[in-house]
Structure 1
Amino acid sequence: MNANIFINKLKSILSEKKLNRLGKQVAFTKRERNITALHMVVSLVAALGDKKMIYLSEILRVYNQLTGQSIKYKPFHNQLVKPELAELMREVTNKVFNCWINDALKYTKKDLFKFDNILIQDGSSIMLHRSLKDVFPGRFSNTCPAAIELHATLNLTQGCFEKAGITPDSYSEREELPTFKELKGQLLLADRGYYSGSYIHELDKAGGFYVLRAKGLKAVRVHNAFKQNGQELTGSHSPKLCELLPELPKNDLIDMHVSIKNKLTRVVGYWSKKEKQYTFLVTNLSIDESTATEIGKLYRLRWQVELLFKECKSYNNLRGFQTSSATLQEALVYVSLIVTTLKRFLTGCIEKIFKTEMSTMTVAKTTGVWWISILTAIIRKHRKGLLNAVNGAFDFLRKNAARAHPKRDRKTGVFQYGVEPNF
């Protein structure tokens, strides 16, 4: 891999011909005037990826800087609030998810080889302007009357979004999960909001694997329960879990089989010092395949999606803007996802070219000397300038955004759980 491969992938999405054609297809533009689909998409990406944006007028200033124009605020805002802009950004986002990807990680443990992919599902709430409460009602009507929920599926080996969707915050998270067909052969990791007894049994029948945090298990019957040393805790009867809880040790993992919807299901329990209660994980991985300790380690991989959301919010402007336009807010969320994917794709390219372990978080926030120059070269169609900007970014980042403690990360970070950089 070299810089030219990255540039070709970059231009396959941020192409003047393709973006302007897509702009016409979704009716964002009818004729190519001063504000084209290419200008709008690239300027939004440039603005939201460089620093924290507070006002929409800041996006206009970036637009004028990149294009060399002097567009006034009102005509620019008229383009921003077009409903078709949200459709344009949604289409671009889907293309980005399919194109700007690297196999950033590889499995190093044999028990992971049987999974086609490890997919991590989660959602993140974004508080909006109160005027949007009828379009995007929040779950907490008093404190947060308007909010959206970003539902995301993270592909662990690619290190970025597999898919994403936006709904009102009050909608059910479980409805946004990948389909059973999509999850065949995959391992799904998800928090308790996605758990239901019916769902896990249907997923098992479809040929998918899962490790989910469970809720509402106190009334289920426990058929057997063992400590890590093999000592059985249930005896000859099958108590309810609530009856067994007082007897469970708080310094050991518990491996159980319980009845959920009349089907024997494996549950791993461990004491949470932070929450001062037991956390229970349901899984269809057998004891022969994965010990209770390994199930716990697999579930800890779910934290990678939390880091992805943090990156989006802290450094890529995934936030509620002060706008009463629902479609503009939706469009800006998609722009943030594009920005995050682009930065992670660039990070993966640097790792492969220079065989250097990179920090995605450091790359995301270290944009001052390279980000705008790349996007300016794209929008002004400077081929040599783009090559120079990309090479400059690669050289700067490999020196300034490498992982600070790769050896430590193998003991305390994500690499301890059976994945490694793929180079």
Structure 2
Amino acid sequence: MRRLTTLFPSEFLEDHAEELGVVERDRKLQIPAFVWAFVFGFAAGESRTLAGFRRCYNSTADETISPGGFYQRLTPTLAEYLRDLVEHGLDEVAVPNAVDADIDRFRDVMIADGTVLRLHEFLSDQFEARHEEQAGAKLHLLHNATEQTIEQLDTANEKTHDSTLFKTGPWLENRLMLFDLAYFKYRRFALIDENDGYFVSRLKQNANPLITGELREWRGRAIPLEGKQLRAVLDDLDRKYIDVEVEVEFKRGPYNGTQSLDTKRFRVVGVRDEDADDYHLYMTNLARKEFFPADLAEIYRCRWEVELLFRELKTQYELDEFDTSDEHVVRILLYAALLSLLVSRDLLDLVTEQADDELVFPTERWAATFRSHAQLILHELGEFLGYSPPPLLDRLIEDAQKIHKQRPILQETLATTTQPRCEA
């Protein structure tokens, strides 16, 4: 429990809530219990309903809160508050992972990717989708594969291209970026190189750079490649690897209203897939003397890390199932899911520290374990924080009673319908 309260100290949760205006003057709402109810309620619930989060809160805090009192606190300000907590957690949580020795020379191995979250169609104006009569949000993550944590996150509508959410800059120095085709852009690669960063990307199908030199000599009657367009020679090659230097042309960013053309030289590597009788092609600025073609193909497999992360969010935390038409509630649930993931990974770090060195904890198996114990953890955390929730029977009565007096339950409807017949 001390690990969790060190990650999110109660005083910090309270002070920041007051600073943003999440807490009102009456102080009835206990912010630490409120936050932890969202974290563990999201992890434990079979369905992530607002009523479920309220029940988690009522089972933890000193005083229960009514449905109306709970729902009125689900505001855009709360969404902003939870996002700030996610940003705080990103700076604190890192689960060390054994990175291959070939890439330990980099400060970090980073993976950029995005996933689409399908939303209620009533949100189509706020979250425009690619198809009519749909709504979709895009979650963009910058995943640190070295430390197994999320470095940056952004949300946008589904139509926003992944590429526009990635910003270059000095932060790239000595970091290796792994890109899928959504981020393929020569100017982006040039800026990474000029910021002393590194990249590996799949080569787009329509990319056809000019080969300026071969980085490996072939014996015998090998087909010369220098001076030819890459796509013009691929079908004629039968070698296991392609390793060439290429020149690409691209437009620089606008300056004084104009865009100038520029060229840059990169490396293209091909690894033959015998089953498909084709090449997996990659573009990079990594030097051949340090990374052979097979090394690059192996490094690129690290991209699977972010796919597993999205799969964990969607399968374990049901991140793609938002049954609400309120924009700010969508954001609240999104940040609650990310907080659950961060807390889960922080506890995984603790478990890894305490366990024998030879033990391995697959992340998805750990996620399922964390979910199954979330209610127990929340109960112990409440006791650790000094909360004394109402007796269990009182909470059962509070949660199970009919809320809407004007809405008849089935028995009342049947009684009202059959009573005139009986009297007749």
TM bucket (normalised to shorter chain) is 0.7 to 0.9
Residue of structure 1 equivalent to 2:25: 31
Residue of structure 2 equivalent to 1:43: 37
Q: Deviations over 1:207-246 (max 9, x none)?
A: 0011112315543212345789667855265222221122
Q: CA separation of 1:174/1:369 partners in 2, compared to 1, >3 Å: closer, same or farther?
A: closer
Residue of structure 2 equivalent to 1:410: none
Q: Deviations over 1:323-376 (max 9, x none)?
A: 111111112111111111211221122122222221221111124653222223
Q: How does 1:275-314 map onto structure 2 within 5 Å?
A: 278-314=279-315
Q: Partners of 2:299 and 2:219 in 1: how far apart?
A: 21
Q: CA separation of 1:178/1:344 partners in 2, compared to 1, >3 Å: closer, same or farther?
A: farther
Q: CA separation of 1:203/1:236 partners in 2, compared to 1, >3 Å: closer, same or farther?
A: closer
Residue type of the partner of 1:118?
A: V
1:330 aligns with 2:331: yes
1:259 aligns with 2:262: no
Match of residue 358, structure 1, among 345, 350, 361: 361
Match of residue 105, structure 1, among 97, 110, 116: 97
Match of residue 108, structure 2, among 117, 124, 132: 117
Q: Deviations over 1:369-407 (max 9, x none)?
A: 53222223333444799xxxxxxxxxxxxxxxxxxxxxx
Q: CA separation of 1:347/1:223 partners in 2, compared to 1, >3 Å: closer, same or farther?
A: same
Q: Partners of 1:167 and 1:101 in 2: how far apart?
A: 26
Q: Deviations over 1:234-266 (max 9, x none)?
A: 5265222221122133x8332222211222210
1:9 touches 1:100 (CA, 8 Å); kept in 2? Answer: no
1:222 touches 1:259 (CA, 8 Å); kept in 2? Answer: yes
Q: How does 1:187-336 map onto structure 2 within 5 Å?
A: 187-224=176-213, 234-235=223-224, 238-249=227-238, 252-261=240-249, 262-271=263-272, 278-336=279-337
Residue of structure 2 equivalent to 1:169: 158
SS of the residue corresponding to residue 260 of structure 1 reads strand
Q: Partners of 2:222 and 2:248 in 1: how far apart?
A: 19
1:85 touches 1:328 (CA, 8 Å); kept in 2? Answer: no
Q: Deviations over 1:308-334 (max 9, x none)?
A: 111111112322411111111112111
TM-score, scaled relative to structure 1:
0.80
Give, in angstroms, the shift of residue 25 of structure 1. Answer: 1.3
Q: How does 1:44-193 map onto structure 2 within 5 Å?
A: 44-67=38-61, 69-80=63-74, 82-102=75-95, 104-109=96-101, 111-138=102-129, 140-142=130-132, 145-193=134-182
Q: Partners of 2:121 and 2:277 in 1: how far apart?
A: 36
SS of the residue corresponding to residue 73 of structure 2 reads helix
Q: Partners of 1:377 and 1:234 in 2: how far apart?
A: 69
Q: Partners of 1:26 and 1:273 in 2: how far apart?
A: 59
Residue of structure 2 equivalent to 1:19: 13
Residue type of the partner of 2:17?
A: G
SS of the residue corresponding to residue 66 of structure 1 reads coil
Q: Partners of 2:312 and 2:380 in 1: how far apart?
A: 25
Q: Partners of 2:207 and 2:346 in 1: how far apart?
A: 44
What is the number of residues matched between the two proteins?
A: 373
1:48 touches 1:317 (CA, 8 Å); kept in 2? Answer: no
Q: Partners of 1:259 and 1:150 in 2: how far apart?
A: 34
Residue of structure 2 equivalent to 1:415: none
Give, in angstroms, the shift of residue 159 of structure 1. Answer: 1.1
Residue type of the partner of 1:121?
A: A
Q: Deviations over 1:57-81 (max 9, x none)?
A: 222222222236443323322212x
Residue type of the partner of 2:145?
A: L
1:377 touches 1:383 (CA, 8 Å); kept in 2? Answer: no
Q: CA separation of 1:112/1:236 partners in 2, compared to 1, >3 Å: closer, same or farther?
A: closer
Give, in angstroms, the shift of residue 30 of structure 1. Answer: 2.3
Q: CA separation of 1:231/1:209 partners in 2, compared to 1, >3 Å: closer, same or farther?
A: farther
1:13 touches 1:92 (CA, 8 Å); kept in 2? Answer: no
Q: CA separation of 1:219/1:60 partners in 2, compared to 1, >3 Å: closer, same or farther?
A: same
1:222 touches 1:241 (CA, 8 Å); kept in 2? Answer: yes
Q: CA separation of 1:53/1:225 partners in 2, compared to 1, >3 Å: closer, same or farther?
A: farther
Residue type of the partner of 2:131?
A: S
Residue type of the partner of 1:53?
A: S
Q: Partners of 1:161 and 1:115 in 2: how far apart?
A: 17
TM-score, scaled relative to structure 2:
0.80
2:30 touches 2:61 (CA, 8 Å); kept in 1? Answer: no
Residue of structure 2 equivalent to 1:373: 376
Q: CA separation of 1:234/1:14 partners in 2, compared to 1, >3 Å: closer, same or farther?
A: same
My pick for the range that moved more, 31-40 or 112-121, is 31-40
Unaligned stretches of 5+ in structure 1? Answer: 1-6, 386-423
1:226 touches 1:233 (CA, 8 Å); kept in 2? Answer: no
1:228 touches 1:254 (CA, 8 Å); kept in 2? Answer: no
Provide the aligned C-alpha RMSD in A.
2.7
Q: Partners of 2:292 and 2:225 in 1: how far apart?
A: 23
Q: Partners of 1:232 and 1:300 in 2: how far apart?
A: 33
Q: Deviations over 1:189-211 (max 9, x none)?
A: 12111110011011101100111
Give, in angstroms, the shift of residue 276 of structure 1. Answer: 7.6
Unaligned stretches of 5+ in structure 2? Answer: 250-262, 389-424
Residue type of the partner of 1:62?
A: C
Q: Partners of 1:368 and 1:223 in 2: how far apart?
A: 54
Q: Partners of 2:296 and 2:139 in 1: how far apart?
A: 27
1:210 touches 1:285 (CA, 8 Å); kept in 2? Answer: yes
Give, in angstroms, the shift of residue 172 of structure 1. Answer: 2.4
Give, in angstroms, the shift of residue 151 of structure 1. Answer: 1.0
